[in-house]
Structure 1
């Protein structure tokens, strides 16, 4: 069992604004409306999230980079860093090449997240090791990215996000069976659930299954989950 459960608030960026994610249907994401901030400016939403859940880590998905292959949104990331001193960003910007990761690391804006959906093979994940976080991506039961990344945990770094895109923002609950199986078969890996967490009951269930933490957005914005970041 994980000794400590860590809640990681999530920001999804699109065209310089924070958007509300739902079921992984990225084309339908619209600028967020939240009681935590006036508008959808990344720095304001980040401050609001951390005011509700004072976390050490903030996850940022740069959807322009992931979906369209655009360069990382350095302006928005820099604004978040400036607004949230002492917080580490985990950033998925569709990284697929070593040069892009090295340039991001040189900017000192956070830790890169390498999504399986953005990979052609296992080389980048294997080469970066624990310098990066790995995201094991699925949508509707489909495994996204190379089979080698799903089937060979030897390629994984210590921190792995289990990203279930189809459960994001729809109140479906986390995929406990899959998460429990992954935790049981990879006890030395810190697994973070992403998609479906509705509140404290789901957090308790994930912790009981040996999950290290969870990436959460909707439950924080909607008020179902506020307060301490660790259990």
Structure 2
């Protein structure tokens, strides 16, 4: 692993189970089958991921909340927290309004991730600042969410996930060109690649262009990374 580079295992939750990503098509995600755990329970999969790679962070995408607007799955988040108390959580639960984020922050279940796809304007991202992580979401050539969030780095907090949904679970490699452009546009931002990371070679390529870390799921389950 490149020095200082942060590998962040990913858990995608759907109906209280961990599911496996397939090219960002969330409706098709099925309960995960992995050699890292006996089933698809969030606690077991979280333990399995952290047994496979060294990590101080877990990223959790609550797909029910993102897709259907349901409240965050606190039961699953609490189970992950109890199973892995030493690890910090970044949680994307489709947050779009300040009151819901404040309630989540008060729960101490993790640091909220604010996805551009869930926003009507730049207000929530700007208002939260570094209390949250920002996810800059695209699907193919489509930039999801307000244009201002894509075009104006002044809106961004310190930590930004560059989420390329079409590459999630697809083994297509990270979008290095996009990451280079964003790095040039905002050198002080800590960028985290999400989508397409296949193994250590991709990590080396990301580190070489100044990316701070990467969100990874499929490559860990498939054995491309070892602790």
Q: Could you report, residue by residue, the CA deviation over 1:102-152 in whole angstroms, capped at 9, with x for unpaired residues?
A: 000010001000000000000000000000000000001100000010011
Is 2:114 aligned against 1:118? no
SS in 2 for 1:113: strand
Displacement of 1:4 after TM fit?
Answer: 1.6
Is 2:70 aligned against 1:66? no
Q: Could you report, residue by residue, the CA deviation over 1:157-211 in whole angstroms, capped at 9, with x for unpaired residues?
A: 0000000000011110000011011112211000000000000000000000110
CA distance in 2, matches of 1:202, 1:14: 28
TM-score (normalised: structure 2): 0.98
CA distance in 2, matches of 1:172, 1:54: 24
Is 2:47 aligned against 1:16? no
SS in 1 for 2:101: helix
Residue 182 of structure 2 corresponds to 182
Displacement of 1:50 after TM fit?
Answer: 0.5
Displacement of 1:216 after TM fit?
Answer: 0.2
Displacement of 1:226 after TM fit?
Answer: 1.9
Structure 1 residue runs without a partner (length 5+): none
Equivalent positions of 1:202-217 (< 5 A) are 202-217=202-217
Residues 3, 33 of structure 1: alpha-carbon distance in 2 compared, 3 angstrom cutoff: closer
Equivalent positions of 1:89-128 (< 5 A) are 89-128=89-128
Q: Could you report, residue by residue, the CA deviation over 1:59-89 in whole angstroms, capped at 9, with x for unpaired residues?
A: 0000000000000000000000000011000
CA distance in 2, matches of 1:178, 1:149: 15
Residue 150 of structure 1 corresponds to 150
Structure 1 ranges of 4+ moved more than 2 A: none
Displacement of 1:54 after TM fit?
Answer: 2.0
Q: Relative to structure 2, which stretch is displaced further, 210-219 or 179-188?
A: 179-188
CA distance in 2, matches of 1:153, 1:180: 14
TM-score (normalised: structure 1): 0.97
Residues 153 and 185, structure 2, Cα contact 8 Å, conserved in 1: no
Residue 170 of structure 1 corresponds to 170
- Greater RCO (Cα-Cα under 8 Å, separation 6 or more): 1
CA distance in 2, matches of 1:31, 1:169: 14
Residue 129 of structure 1 corresponds to 129
Displacement of 1:225 after TM fit?
Answer: 1.4
Residues 167 and 196, structure 2, Cα contact 8 Å, conserved in 1: yes
SS in 1 for 2:94: coil
Residue 46 of structure 1 corresponds to 46
CA distance in 1, matches of 2:46, 2:194: 18
Displacement of 1:3 after TM fit?
Answer: 6.6
- TM-align CA RMSD: 0.9
Aligned length: 226
Structure 2 residue runs without a partner (length 5+): none
